């Protein structure tokens, strides 16, 4: 009885130890990527887009940064999921806002639910996409006034900027490989053959 208990205790200690290791190099690359990605979007929003009164920095990009800079091998953090999930969710969010502007709780529930199912169907599941759809419903009047431009200006442009920074920063790190599949573009073209035309 004592031997199996000791064995389980040792196994738990090893798991806890491995999960709490501090890899400073990995954390530095994560910090650098997130700082550059969000900083670039924030700078562009403040200095370039301030005259046109268009926001570029939305809350769901913070959650995307966790995935594409911190958990780079996750299937949910890959380029197709990042860009496709945000764009599809933004489109769904704006469409729901156009069709069902009130009550707010119903519009929010419909936008997030349809966004999740849409991402599942298109194989672009990206958890921050749910927040992107929700922002289209509960965002500021300025953001809601963008209509379908919300899909292009803050969402598509921001997701592409985050992706470019992720590819560059993760290529600089010798131990990181992003995207996880080097042939991600070919896989995407095979999955969506009409998208490349």
List C-alpha distances in Å: 9 to 3, 6, 16, 17, 80: 10, 5, 11, 12, 42
- DSSP per position, 97-114: HHH--SSHHHHHHHHHHH
- In which band, very low, low, confident or very high, does the pLDDT at 197 lie, cut at 50, 70 and 90? very low
Radius of gyration from C-alpha coordinates of the chain: 20
Top pLDDT among 12 and 110 is at 110
User: What tokens appear for 98 in the block?
Assistant: 């156009």
Sketch the domain layout of the chain as residue ranges.
25-196
Using one digit for the tens of pLDDT, what is the confidence trace for 93-127? 999 999 999 999 999 999 999 999 999 999 999 99
Using one digit for the tens of pLDDT, what is the confidence trace for 68-92? 999 998 999 999 999 999 999 999 9
The Cα–Cα gap between 84 and 196 comes to 14
The reported pLDDT for the residue numbered 186 is: 61
**Of 10-19, 44-53, 63-72, which gets the smallest average pLDDT?**
10-19
| pTM score of the predicted model | 0.80
* 186-191: average pLDDT: 58
């Amino acid at each position: 009885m004592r031997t199996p208990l000791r064995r389980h205790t040792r196994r738990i200690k090893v798991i806890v130890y491995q999960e709490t290791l501090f890899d400073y190099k990995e954390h530095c690359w994560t910090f650098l990527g997130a700082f550059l990605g969000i900083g670039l979007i924030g700078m562009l929003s403040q200095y370039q887009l301030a005259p046109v009164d268009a926001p570029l920095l939305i809350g769901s990009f913070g959650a995307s940064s966790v995935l594409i800079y911190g958990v780079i091998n996750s299937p949910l953090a890959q380029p197709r999921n990042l860009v496709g999930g945000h764009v599809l969710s933004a489109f769904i969010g704006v469409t729901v806002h156009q069709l069902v502007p009130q009550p707010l709780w119903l519009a929010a529930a419909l936008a997030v639910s349809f966004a999740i199912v849409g991402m599942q169907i298109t194989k672009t599941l990206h958890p921050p996409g749910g927040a992107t759809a929700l922002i289209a419903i509960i965002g500021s009047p300025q953001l809601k006034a963008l209509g379908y431009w919300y899909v292009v200006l803050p969402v598509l442009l921001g997701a592409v900027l985050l992706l470019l920074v992720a590819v560059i920063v993760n290529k600089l790190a010798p131990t990181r490989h992003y995207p996880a599949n080097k042939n991600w573009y070919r896989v995407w073209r095979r999955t969506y053959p009409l998208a490349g035309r």
